[in-house]
């Protein structure tokens, strides 16, 4: 039983390290590039997928505790290279777009209609790039009608 708990905790730590650098690359090369005012902690907490994190924790911990250390270190090194590649601007920007951006969205408020891309959907506001006016807008989520 203690070996299983050790595998889970070790896997969680290793997955946390990988997640940290993934979100650091997104923050540096996507969020900051668009000038979105957002703290790293909020980005990390709001966009963390618990299912992927749990699966990665299980795989890494199981591999390290129940298989050879060489296999576990090779797997962790490969995953680290993939995750650290988000610190390179073009890759980090592309990953940020894939994870956070919603393309060709129409939003409606009481007075105006907007058509463009949702760059980031926060807790209270939506950072939106409008095609017509060629400008980034910060819209209050409570004033938007319908689904988006």
Which tens digit of pLDDT belongs to each residue from 2-61?
888 998 999 999 999 999 999 999 999 999 999 998 888 888 989 999 999 999 999 999
- Print the domain residue range for 80: 2-98
What's the rounded Cα separation, in Å, for the pair 14 and 73? Answer: 11
- Check whether residue 86 and residue 42 sit in a common domain: yes
Residues 13 and 86 in one domain: yes
Q: How many domains are contained in the chain?
A: 2
Q: What is the Cα–Cα distance from 83 to 100, expressed in whole angstroms?
A: 17
Asked whether residue 57 falls in the same domain as residue 128, the answer is no
- Residue 126 β-bridge partners: 121, 139
Whole-structure pTM value: 0.88
- Check whether residue 21 and residue 69 sit in a common domain: yes
Nearest alpha-carbon partner for 113 in 135, 134, 100, 130: 130
8 and 81 co-located in one domain? yes
- Whether residue 114 is contained in a domain is answered as yes
76 shares a domain with 13:
yes
């Amino acid at each position: 039983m203690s070996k299983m708990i050790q595998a889970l905790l070790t896997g969680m730590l290793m997955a946390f390290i990988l997640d940290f650098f993934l979100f650091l690359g997104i923050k540096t090369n996507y969020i900051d590039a668009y000038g979105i005012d957002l703290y790293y902690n909020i980005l990390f907490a709001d966009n963390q997928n618990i299912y992927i994190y749990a699966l990665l924790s299980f795989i890494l911990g199981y591999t390290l505790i129940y298989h050879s250390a060489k296999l576990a270190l090779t797997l962790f090194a490969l995953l680290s290279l993939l995750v650290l590649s988000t610190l390179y601007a073009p890759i980090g920007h592309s990953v940020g777009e894939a994870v956070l951006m919603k393309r060709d969205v129409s939003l409606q408020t009481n007075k105006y209609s907007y058509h463009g891309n949702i760059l980031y959907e926060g807790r209270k506001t939506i950072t939106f790039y409008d095609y017509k006016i060629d400008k980034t807008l910060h819209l209050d989520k409570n004033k938007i009608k319908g689904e988006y």
